[in-house]
Structure 1
């Protein structure tokens, strides 16, 4: 990999003639960057796909190639990508349905809108993985037909398909009306009984860790049940009994469902497995009384999950905020809080409640300004990135709270070039400030030069267009490949330097 050429390939200021030269000499790494260019012409895309075959798939997904540009015999992977996008020739599907490479037939099977005869051919494929790929995304009619497939892996895929009819999903769970499965991926390959070593040393083995079969295909059946329990199309009455199942994973599969009776949610909320309780805590379908029970859970991460529930009562959330790490992202409940609720939070005597309000970025100016003068540094850290704060308030925040808030002030999108420069000179220094300033659109050359001295901020600063061109040029030879690549991608890199770096075909 040549980091400088990879960076140049992504440089938005690279002129078309230099893009042509890179296309003509590209290797696989450079092709990845070229394929993502917004200004890549169709002619350049065709030339790149011809030179680096594996780039054609990304070029298809980037919308740079059409069916007219692809030969399905020479570029089957690109043809599959077009079919996946719904833009391929139906005849290609017929051709690829007979491809000797199983992985290609498997990818074809996952494409939507296939011709009826191709669907029939894939449903009768000799490899269960191909049929399972079809079953996972096919129509209700085909899914219903494949539910009786003799291979358990296909039934597992049918169970995961949300288009599968509810009655069929219920039958997969109960087994009623379906013949027993005859094979699974384990007994296809190994003599039973067999349990796959989770630390299997064979490099060519792709059986899942813990896969097993004693003749009943138990691990695949277990996976099928998990898929059906998670599938929201599965009838509620078919799944509620699994809240008492001895398998932790099967009980866990119920936790995100929105349709369980309240007594089932209560049972799962009392489960011995903390992860199950955490997922129930985050489920918007649980009632207020259960939310209050879970707020007293002994596990911190269960209580943390509860704070993300959009239906949590505000008083419960406020209490949890005192002892729970909330993080910098506004919680769903706070995002939908009414103006009166926001005002109540912002003027609460509890700092944690004020901090919740401060995370909003659409606060009225009066509330925003009050929070910016809050005596608690955690509240001020939350409000510091608010785009409405004027520079005088940002500087006042730094004067009052110093190192505890400077990094957050540096993230404010309205921070002026002068303020950002001053933040890099703050004593004592805070290393995170350099990373934030390095990615800020208003950073000055002086501030960026200071950021280059920090090893974590160096690669970020190297790509900033405000960095002086001579410095960018010097960074092309940096010992850190990430720094060199970022410098090469910098749109302020002099054109003359670009011309020297791009090889001639």
Structure 2
């Protein structure tokens, strides 16, 4: 890979004539970056496609090619990409439906807006993978017939398709009203009864782990039910009966549904599997009493799921705050807190609760400033990047808490160039802070030069237009290829240097 040419291909300041020169010498790596240029014209895209046909799919998905630019016989992959984007020529679908490669017909089956005659051809395809792909994506009337298909893979795809009618989904999940499944992936390959070893070491084996068939295609039927239970279009009354099913996976498929009766949620909240309980805990459809009970669950994932529930009561959330690791995430319930609730939260005696509030970036000034003056470093670190904080307050935060809040201050959009330079002089350097400074829009050339001393921040700083051009040119010879590529993509790279770097085709 030529990292200089790859960087130049992404350089937003590259003149059009230089883009043309790069196209003339592009390999696959350079073409991949050129194809992503926002200013790539249609004629340039066609020339790039001619130079590196492998980039055609990327160009098609990027809207850079038209049907007139593509021969569907020579480049069926690009034709399929255009059809997948809703473009392409109408006759291409019929042509590709007869393609001898099943993988291409399978790709075609996932394309939107296929003509009715093509859908019928694909629905009768001899390859199950093609029919299953059609069943997964089609919105046509054939979906009812596909749900009755003798192969389990096709029915499973129909069960996962939210365009499948509710009554058909109910039949798929219960098995009532449908003919029995006749074939599955297990009995097609193995003599039954057969149970696939979960630790199977057979070379080339593609059977799902634990798949089994005794003639009733039990694991395949289970997979159909699981897909249907996860489908939001499946009627709740058909799904609710599985809340105490022996299969943990089927119970788990229900846990996030928003439409079950309260009794089903109570069963799932007492499930022996923590994953089931965690998904129920995160479900906004459960009531306050159930949330309060789940707050006492011994499993941390359950309590974490409850903390992320957008309807969790604030008093319950306060109980969770000290025992659940949330990370830097703004919880939905905190984001939705009313002004009155915000005032309650900022006055909480629990630092972890104030820290959760401090992650909001739309707080009233008086609340924001109170959090910035908080005695707890974790609270201050969480609010440090909040816009509107004055430089005096940011410096006071640094004086009180030092390295604990330094990276947060470095992210603050109002941090001045002088403050950012001050942060780069911390000894020892703080790698996370240097990374943030390197991408900060207010970073001065001096701050960026300091960031070049950090291995993680160096590639980021190398791409900043504020760097002196002479420094950018020096970075083209850096030992780190990431730095070289970013320097070549730097808009400050002198035109004369660029001209020397691009070979003439």
1:273 deviates by 1.1
1:467 deviates by 2.0
TM-score by length of 2: 0.96
Equivalent in the alignment of 1:499 = 499
Note if 1:33 corresponds to 2:33.
Answer: yes
1:59-78 correspondence runs (5 A): 59-78=59-78
Equivalent in the alignment of 1:226 = 226
1:262 deviates by 0.9
User: What is the SS of the residue equivalent to 1:108?
Assistant: helix
1:173 deviates by 2.0
Name the stretch that deviates more: 162-171 or 325-334. 325-334
- C-alpha distance in 2, partners of 1:14/1:155? 52
Distance 1:488 1:352, change over 3 A: same
Equivalent in the alignment of 2:379 = 379
Equivalent in the alignment of 1:127 = 127
1:410-425 correspondence runs (5 A): 410-425=410-425
- C-alpha distance in 1, partners of 2:457/2:187? 53
1:372 deviates by 1.2
Name the stretch that deviates more: 216-225 or 371-380. 216-225
Equivalent in the alignment of 1:347 = 347
Name the stretch that deviates more: 429-438 or 125-134. 429-438
- C-alpha distance in 2, partners of 1:206/1:152? 16
Name the stretch that deviates more: 145-154 or 69-78. 69-78
Name the stretch that deviates more: 295-304 or 471-480. 471-480
Distance 1:216 1:478, change over 3 A: farther
The question of whether the paired residues in 2 share the 8 Å contact of 1:407 and 1:432 is answered with: yes
- C-alpha distance in 2, partners of 1:93/1:144? 22
The question of whether the paired residues in 1 share the 8 Å contact of 2:174 and 2:225 is answered with: no
1:129 deviates by 0.6
1:324 deviates by 1.8
Equivalent in the alignment of 1:237 = 237
Name the stretch that deviates more: 494-503 or 102-111. 494-503
1:55 deviates by 1.1
- C-alpha distance in 1, partners of 2:320/2:171? 43
- C-alpha distance in 2, partners of 1:451/1:207? 51
Equivalent in the alignment of 1:368 = 368
Gaps of 5+ in 2: none
Gaps of 5+ in 1: none
Name the stretch that deviates more: 270-279 or 480-489. 480-489
1:504 deviates by 1.4
The question of whether the paired residues in 2 share the 8 Å contact of 1:403 and 1:428 is answered with: no
Distance 1:372 1:478, change over 3 A: same
Equivalent in the alignment of 1:473 = 473
The question of whether the paired residues in 2 share the 8 Å contact of 1:140 and 1:164 is answered with: no
1:346 deviates by 1.2
- C-alpha distance in 2, partners of 1:190/1:479? 55
1:349 deviates by 2.1
Note if 1:83 corresponds to 2:83.
Answer: yes
Equivalent in the alignment of 1:50 = 50
User: What is the SS of the residue equivalent to 1:173?
Assistant: helix
The question of whether the paired residues in 2 share the 8 Å contact of 1:10 and 1:33 is answered with: yes
Distance 1:140 1:169, change over 3 A: farther
User: What is the SS of the residue equivalent to 1:455?
Assistant: coil
The question of whether the paired residues in 1 share the 8 Å contact of 2:131 and 2:154 is answered with: yes
Name the stretch that deviates more: 165-174 or 95-104. 165-174
1:296-311 correspondence runs (5 A): 296-311=296-311
1:269 deviates by 1.0
The question of whether the paired residues in 2 share the 8 Å contact of 1:278 and 1:305 is answered with: yes
Instruction: Give me the CA root mean square deviation.
Output: 1.6
1:39-438 correspondence runs (5 A): 39-139=39-139, 141-198=141-198, 204-438=204-438
1:250 deviates by 1.0
Distance 1:495 1:204, change over 3 A: farther
Q: How many residues align?
A: 505
1:213 deviates by 3.0
Note if 1:22 corresponds to 2:22.
Answer: yes
- C-alpha distance in 2, partners of 1:199/1:482? 40
1:6-59 Cα deviation digits (max 9, x unpaired): 111111111111111211222222111111110000011111112222211111
1:96 deviates by 0.4
Distance 1:206 1:6, change over 3 A: farther
Distance 1:253 1:121, change over 3 A: same
- C-alpha distance in 2, partners of 1:389/1:102? 60
Name the stretch that deviates more: 78-87 or 212-221. 212-221
- C-alpha distance in 2, partners of 1:196/1:14? 57
- C-alpha distance in 2, partners of 1:209/1:21? 52
1:469-489 Cα deviation digits (max 9, x unpaired): 222222222222222222222
User: What is the SS of the residue equivalent to 2:104?
Assistant: helix
1:365 deviates by 1.2
Equivalent in the alignment of 1:457 = 457
The question of whether the paired residues in 1 share the 8 Å contact of 2:420 and 2:447 is answered with: yes
TM-score by length of 1: 0.96
User: What is the SS of the residue equivalent to 2:263?
Assistant: helix
